[in-house]
A and B are shown apart, each in its own frame.
Chain A
Amino acid sequence: MSLVVVQFLTGLASASSLFLVACGLSIIFGVTRIVNFAHGSLYMLGIYVAYSTAERLMPLLGGAGFWLALPAAALLVGLIGAAMEVTVLRRLYRSHELFQLLATFGVVLIVDDIALAIWGPADLLGPRAPGFDGSIAILGSKIPEYDLVLIVLGPLVLGLLWLLFRRTRWGTLVRAATQDREMAGALGVDQKKLFTAVVFLGAFLAGLGGAMQLPREAANLGMDLNIIAEAFVVTVVGGMGSIGGAFLAALLVAELNAFGILVFPEISIVLLFLVMAVVLVLRPQGLLGKAEQAQHATHGEAEPTLAPGGRAMTAAGLLLVAALAALPTLAGGYLLGVASEILILALFAASLQFIMGVGGMISFGHAAYLGLGAYAAAILTRELGAPMEGALLAAPLAGGLGALAFGWFCVRLSGVYLAMLTLAFAQIAWSVAFQWTEVTGGDNGILGVWPSHWADSAARFYWLTLALVAAAVALLRRAVFAPFGYALRAGRDSPRRAQAVGIAVRRQQWLGFTLAGVFAGLAGGLYAFLKGSVFPDVMAIPMSVDGLVMVLLGGVQTLAGPLVGAAVYDGLKAELVTRTEFWRIIVGCVIVLLCVAFPRGLVGNLKALWQSRRGVEG
């Protein structure tokens, strides 16, 4: 009994920080319509800044220094958020949600490296809270006093926010801008100021959430992605844009975590998944969310029409494959390894492009299916002694089954909600791989996944990879121009019209999602044999984002794009990582720049240039 009470109160205490982060995310999204991926980074900055500030102030002011450091840190993070709004977010308000998510992920990378440079890679343990460093007995069990502070903080902030939004003119204007920002502007509301202020508020809350954790956990560089995945789950479950919903969902998620550890210590995260699944099936808009209304007339251009490349293109494709097949005569082992990796990632990116470009579904968790394929192949060969051939058959199956299961939920949502859900699923898959040590080896991964004897030279494995990737990409292209791809595109262009001509849009999307999972799984299987090992990283968020950047680099609406994108991105990154410890900040800046300046990607921009030239001449 006392254990239950302790866990319950611990859950309540954890819920507070999670609520602060999630409601900040929700408020920013409400007004700017941007899901701020970097919100977890602001949370992480909160705890780091609080650590440094407390370290300086406490020798001077004693206990008061600590209590001053927390709001000071939140304030500073708020200002950082405002600066981010002015420099990055402001340029993205009219962009596609994909670019908004990606650009803010670029900020995640940048903040990561800045934090690494300032605070170093080691965990930093903060001081205990002066005045609240003991524990008190409740029903015979000891509860840290500081937890009680946190338990009070959550409802207090909720109440203050309610007053702010319901009882002040500023709050009324924010709510108006949330519902129709252009109209609010036409009524004389200065949007720029309002947006900056709202992002400041959201960032302040995230920073406060981080700072409040100072006495509870050590500051570390992994906090940003951990909290953001949870915050996404909270906002999706609670209902995007609903502060009350965020509060409820934060309580729910935190309690689940607290009790899940008691029941299934190994895979407690699965509980979270189940609850999220149940909520989404019953209330797709979240607990307190409003059903998505038809979006206001978007000013974006209509997606371009697609046409198969014709004979010249097919010939060029065959020529390229032939040229690539000749590569082993020129290149040595290392280069062939890089080339194989590029091919595998090209397939991964192509499968992602299939659901994004053709299906209109943005996945921020596509690495889950790559990872499922990789783990399936590795587990089969290592644990069950299956040959490579069998493992390579199982890999797409595993990717496909994973996509079938997760996709069933994902296609119930659309746009940015879908993106967040895919990310949450991928994070769950990652957690399982990370925590389920008996099967996956946890952090140590699975080693010794080698190809069959006939394919064990670099050249032979490269040829195998080339053959499979070429065939798979050709199949994917074929599907795009087959009725299947057309129906998928119909659902993207106009779901209403598609339904009205008898297309089961959700089912079509679900099957498309699954098909993409199959091909990602195949890429994962190859990846496992190429590396000879599998680690949880293969399904972590950065891998999913790598796939997105490749697609984006090449151009979302360009079928050849992912291939070019994979070659350029993976090649450059391989180069960068060998040269500097701070490669993330460079990649981050490139991503931000790409999203702000070249949303059509490399191939897309070249194509546009080519068409406008021809247009001028014709």
Chain B
Amino acid sequence: MTSPVLEVSRIRKVFGGVVALEEVSFAVAAGEMVALIGPNGAGKSTCFNVVNGQLRPDEGHVALHGRAITGLPARKIWRLGVGRTFQVAATFASMTVMENVQMALLSRRRRLLSLWPRATRLYRGEALELLERVGAADLADRPCGQLAYGDVKRIELAIALANEPALLLMDEPTAGMAPGERAELMALTAAIAREGRIAVLFTEHDMDVVFGHADRVLVLDRGHLIAAGEADTVRNDPRVREVYLGPETLAADEAEADAPGWAAC
């Protein structure tokens, strides 16, 4: 196996005396989809934000293709080949779908300071190709601010791909989507990742998405990585079941209803 695209080693992060992350290490290889899960407050967002550069870890480091990216600003990390999608999809609402993708391409070619050419005439073909890859070519001329949410998510993916990233970071990619749409988006992502040998790291709450699409699953609890491995292994790990997944059914709990229900969280 070739060297990993993303390598996170022994990260530690403390917020005002509270340890958010401790000794967290993992790697993601090209073409691999890895899910990062855990209960609320387990350190998922912190971990994600350390990887994407928003937070600087107190100890440890993050490397992309062996090159340290710890604490670099988001825009530099993008230039090194990291594409991102957000929990609440972020696009440029005052531009058309096509212009959104062109914007990313203009940035990639470092044309942002040019004052004369018409931006809409640059890199149209390339932008259209990217839209085709996510199946959104027919939306090219629609204003992005008026799209349905599911479509915005796909556009975001196209924007993230504009820099031919080696690594794709997706923060709760399916949050706010209907279950059917969720599977669709993740299948699309998986296909693109495999085809382009892109490493994908995503956080997620929807266990159907996690176990349906992740090659490997990482589980965080109170800042520690408590499990890592293939979906089935993780699903049956007793510790994971205890802190996160819980017993399978919701309805059969009348008997224990009088136990202090909230105490564990």
Does chain A touch chain B in the assembled complex, meaning CB atoms less than 8 Å apart? yes
Question: A: which residues have CB within 8 A of B?
Answer: 302-306, 308, 475, 478-479, 481-487, 489-490, 492-494, 496-504, 508, 511
Contact with A along B145-156 (1 / 0, CB 8 A): 110000000001
| A475 closest partner in B (C-beta) | B115
Quick check: A501 and B96 within 8 Å, CB to CB?
Answer: no
Quick check: B75 and A489 within 8 Å, CB to CB?
Answer: no
CB distance from B78 to the nearest CB of A (A): 4
26 A-B pairs (CB sep. < 8 Å): A304-B94, A305-B95, A305-B143, A478-B115, A479-B115, A481-B119, A482-B118, A483-B117, A484-B112, A484-B113, A484-B115, A489-B95, A492-B94, A493-B93, A493-B95, A494-B90, A494-B92, A496-B90, A498-B92, A499-B74, A500-B78, A501-B159, A501-B163, A503-B103, A503-B112, A508-B112
CB distance from B174 to the nearest CB of A (A): 18
Interface SS majority for chain A: helix
Q: How far, in whole Å, are A475 and B115 apart by their CA atoms in the complex?
A: 9
CB distance from B102 to the nearest CB of A (A): 8
Q: Which residues of B contact A478 (CB under 8 A)?
A: 115-116
Quick check: A502 and B78 within 8 Å, CB to CB?
Answer: yes
Quick check: B143 and A482 within 8 Å, CB to CB?
Answer: no
B73 at the interface (CB under 8 A from A): yes
Q: Which residues of A contact B102 (CB under 8 A)?
A: 486
Q: How far, in whole Å, are A479 and B103 apart by their CA atoms in the complex?
A: 15
A493 touching B116 in the complex, CB below 8 Å, given contacts A487-B107, A500-B84, A501-B78:
no
Q: How far, in whole Å, are A306 and B143 apart by their CA atoms in the complex?
A: 10
Quick check: B95 and A496 within 8 Å, CB to CB?
Answer: no
Quick check: B74 and A500 within 8 Å, CB to CB?
Answer: yes
Looking at B111, B113, B115, the one whose CB has the most chain A CB atoms below 10 A away is B115
Q: How far, in whole Å, are A123 and B156 apart by their CA atoms in the complex?
A: 62
| B109 closest partner in A (C-beta) | A483
Contact with A along B42-85 (1 / 0, CB 8 A): 00000000000000000000000000000001111011000110
B91 at the interface (CB under 8 A from A): yes
Q: How far, in whole Å, are A306 and B73 apart by their CA atoms in the complex?
A: 30
B225 at the interface (CB under 8 A from A): no
CB distance from A302 to the nearest CB of B (A): 3
B6 at the interface (CB under 8 A from A): no
CB distance from B97 to the nearest CB of A (A): 11
A302-B145, A487-B103, A496-B86 provided; 12 other pairs, C-beta below 8 A?
A302-B94, A305-B95, A478-B115, A483-B106, A483-B114, A493-B92, A493-B94, A499-B73, A500-B86, A500-B90, A501-B75, A501-B159
CB distance from A426 to the nearest CB of B (A): 26
| B117 closest partner in A (C-beta) | A482
Quick check: A503 and B75 within 8 Å, CB to CB?
Answer: yes
Q: How far, in whole Å, are A493 and B176 apart by their CA atoms in the complex?
A: 21
Contact with A along B20-58 (1 / 0, CB 8 A): 000000000000000000000000000000000000000
A504 touching B75 in the complex, CB below 8 Å, given contacts A486-B106, A489-B94, A494-B91:
yes
| B86 closest partner in A (C-beta) | A496
CB distance from B18 to the nearest CB of A (A): 18
Quick check: B78 and A305 within 8 Å, CB to CB?
Answer: no
Interface residues of B in 178-201 (CB under 8 A from A): none
Interface SS majority for chain B: mixed
Number of A-B residue pairs at CB separation under 8 A: 115
Looking at A479, A482, A497, the one whose CB has the most chain B CB atoms below 10 A away is A497
**Which of A303, A499, A511 has a CB less than 8 Å from the CB of B94?**
A303
A497 touching B95 in the complex, CB below 8 Å, given contacts A478-B115, A482-B119:
no
Quick check: B145 and A490 within 8 Å, CB to CB?
Answer: no
Q: How many residues of B contact A (CB 8 A)?
A: 42
CB distance from A261 to the nearest CB of B (A): 42
**Which of A303, A484, A504 has a CB less than 8 Å from the CB of B114?**
A484
- 10 closest residue pairs by CB, A with B: A302-B145, A302-B93, A497-B90, A493-B92, A303-B94, A487-B112, A499-B74, A501-B104, A486-B119, A502-B107
Q: Which residues of A contact B113 (CB under 8 A)?
A: 483-484, 511
Q: Which residues of A contact B160 (CB under 8 A)?
A: 500
Q: Which residues of B contact A482 (CB under 8 A)?
A: 114-119
B7 at the interface (CB under 8 A from A): no
B233 at the interface (CB under 8 A from A): no
Looking at B73, B112, B156, the one whose CB has the most chain A CB atoms below 10 A away is B112
Quick check: A502 and B95 within 8 Å, CB to CB?
Answer: no
**Which of A304, A481, A499 has a CB less than 8 Å from the CB of B118?**
A481
Q: Which residues of A contact B94 (CB under 8 A)?
A: 302-306, 489, 492-493
B120 at the interface (CB under 8 A from A): yes
A497 touching B159 in the complex, CB below 8 Å, given contacts A484-B112, A508-B112:
yes
B99 at the interface (CB under 8 A from A): yes
Q: How far, in whole Å, are A264 and B86 apart by their CA atoms in the complex?
A: 51
Q: Which residues of B contact A483 (CB under 8 A)?
A: 106, 111-114, 117, 119, 122
Q: Which residues of B contact A302 (CB under 8 A)?
A: 93-94, 143, 145-146
Q: How far, in whole Å, are A490 and B103 apart by their CA atoms in the complex?
A: 8
| B102 closest partner in A (C-beta) | A486
Q: How far, in whole Å, are A546 and B242 apart by their CA atoms in the complex?
A: 65
Looking at A302, A305, A498, A502, the one whose CB has the most chain B CB atoms below 10 A away is A502
CB distance from A531 to the nearest CB of B (A): 31
Q: How far, in whole Å, are A46 and B90 apart by their CA atoms in the complex?
A: 47
B162 at the interface (CB under 8 A from A): yes
Q: Which residues of A contact B103 (CB under 8 A)?
A: 486-487, 490, 501, 503
Q: How far, in whole Å, are A571 and B84 apart by their CA atoms in the complex?
A: 51
Q: Which residues of B contact A494 (CB under 8 A)?
A: 90-93
| B85 closest partner in A (C-beta) | A500
B108 at the interface (CB under 8 A from A): yes
Q: How far, in whole Å, are A308 and B117 apart by their CA atoms in the complex?
A: 12
Q: Which residues of B contact A508 (CB under 8 A)?
A: 112
Q: How far, in whole Å, are A496 and B145 apart by their CA atoms in the complex?
A: 16
Q: Which residues of B contact A493 (CB under 8 A)?
A: 91-95
Q: Which residues of A contact B159 (CB under 8 A)?
A: 497, 501
